[in-house]
Chain A
Amino acid sequence: MKDGGRVLPGLRLSLGLTLFYAGLIICLPLAMLIIVGARLGPAEYWAVVSSPRAVASYRVTLLSAFAATAFNAVYGFLLAWALVRYEFPGRRLLDAIVDLPFALPTAVAGIALSGLFAKNGWFGAPLGAIGIKVAYTPLGIAIAMAFTSLPFVVRTLQPVLEELDGAIEEAAATLGARPLQIFRRVVLPVVVPALLAGVSLAFARSLGEFGAVIFIAGNQPFVSEITALVAYIRVEEYDYPAAAAIATVMLATAFVLLVAINALQAYARRHEALR
């Protein structure tokens, strides 16, 4: 690796191509978005991003994403745990199924969930009978977000759980620790960094999710309208500067989360290396 640059050919060509592509396809559009957003000027920018409808959409998006992520933290953990620790028929199939939400296009997930939770749907009918409404509510949004972001939690936890030494847990058990105690004192401390990283990835994905959500959300302003849709509607109204302003809020949030996730993952790796 050290002297690679001197012997191997192709650095100029491959790096040139990469920089050209990264500049044209990735950096230029994002830079333009920021420039157009900035062109609004502070007062107008603030007026757009703090308008009641936008703020309501932040609340809906954040709360739904939070609920979805909390659910996935528990479900994803149990799923990863079962996949790593238990031997059972169909384990490999279950492992493959975990990736379905990534493989399934979001629009397909969207109509699937809205079909399931429709008034006469498989889930919508029985839930409706006991008075729970999912479609056209923030609960529906949370379910769509939970579906699309599940693999992040499972796939981040799996390698860490695989390295977790069952011997320490057994030692704790021999010394008289109860299962919940073992979980809290032995398993959790090791797993927490990876769990946080996976959960943040899922949360970030949920905040940006569009396709899966809009079918089931009902998209009622102030009630079940996500931020991505507010930006989309501004585009449809040809109000491009406002669309840019809201999009930059989403972009900035994604950046902050990305930095946090990178830090968490670095911490998780250090944590692993120390063991």
Chain B
Amino acid sequence: MKGGAGGRRLVLAIVLVLTLFVVIAPVSVVLVEGLSRGVGAFFGALGEEDTLAAIRLSIVTALVVVPINTLFGIAAAWSIAKFTFPGRKLLLSVIELPFSVSPIVAGIAYLFVYGGQGLLGPFLEEHDIKIMFALPGIILASTFVTAPFVARELIPLMQLQGNDDEEAAATLGARGFQIFRRVTLPNIRWGLVYGIILCNARVLGEFGAVSIVSGTIRGETNTLPLQIELLYHDYNTAGAFAAASVLTLVALLTLAAKVALEAKVGRGQAGR
């Protein structure tokens, strides 16, 4: 726009000041509050038994959920990007549905499947299987919330690359998994890594859905974000911000990985 250098400077100043206040300040306050009492106090707060248990639980959850959603994402992308079949668009919408559903709604929905009064409640009780207010419930709710991450990265990437290479490999006698490993995977690997990193970050940070299904039992079913809430409401500000700093560092690492991967994949793919 020919607003001249003055207009440009004004817009830029507004943008930078707002970003400082709206985005940078909240992130900084977490790190400052978390680390202001010194590194010793920081690790001391993290070393508390319940917080350690929460960190462990969050890691276990991620270790289960991320592979499940990676496998699902690859399968979904392979079927949707490489083939045409009736209902393909509908399936795509269903896969993206978790992004539009409030995590609270997701958590409540899971209660009605696996909870005591839920669809499978009587069956689960009879066989003494505990899903709600236990690790399996946390895993299921986290799986729902992060379902679209890998698929959404891979589908446009695979569609863009077309089927020619895979078809050539098939004609030359390559078998299914061989084709995927040797031909498709090298083409999509950075998009795949990116989707996995996003999925992981979201699993570690999920709050609403997990807060419904976890039962928030101290030291047992509290994930790290739930532990942050608990510490905060216990007026243990130092502990809450120390725990929050850990998740903030994960977020910053995720962003760094995003920037690095964007250089490899190209903006359009890893941008959204």
A-side residues, CB < 8 A to B, are 1-2, 4-5, 7-11, 13-15, 17-19, 21-22, 25-30, 32-33, 35-36, 75, 78-79, 81-82, 85-86, 88, 92, 94, 96-101, 103-116, 121-123, 146-147, 150, 155, 158-159, 169-170, 173, 179, 182-183, 187, 204, 207-211, 215, 228, 231-232, 235, 240, 243-244, 247, 250-251, 254-255, 257-258
Contact = CB atoms under 8 A, between A and B. Distances in A.
B62 interface: no
A99 B208 contact: no
Dominant secondary structure at the A interface: helix
A113 B4 CA distance: 36
Interface centre among A32, A82, A114, A258, by most B CB within 10 Å? A32
A116 B21 CA distance: 10
Contact of B75 (A13, A32, A254): A13
B15 A30 contact: no
Contacts of A169: 1-2
Contact of A228 (B16, B104, B162, B229): B104
Contacts, number: 290
A5 B109 CA distance: 36
Interface stretch (B25-33, B42-50, B122-130, B188-196): B25-33
A170 B176 CA distance: 54
B98 interface: yes
Contacts of A146: 22
B76 interface: yes
Interface string B129-147: 0000000000010011001
Report whether over half of chain B's contact residues are helix, strand or loop; otherwise say mixed: helix
A35 to B, nearest CB: 8
A3 to B, nearest CB: 8
B113 interface: yes
A114 B14 CA distance: 24
B143 A25 contact: yes
B82 interface: yes
B259 A96 contact: yes
Contact of A115 (B1, B29, B95, B104): B29
B15 A208 contact: no
A94 B11 CA distance: 14
A216 B29 CA distance: 15
Given A111-B244, A147-B23, A244-B112, A22 B11 contact: no
B11 A78 contact: yes
Contact of A32 (B109, B226, B244): B109
A113 to B, nearest CB: 6
A209 B27 CA distance: 18
B206 to A, nearest CB: 7
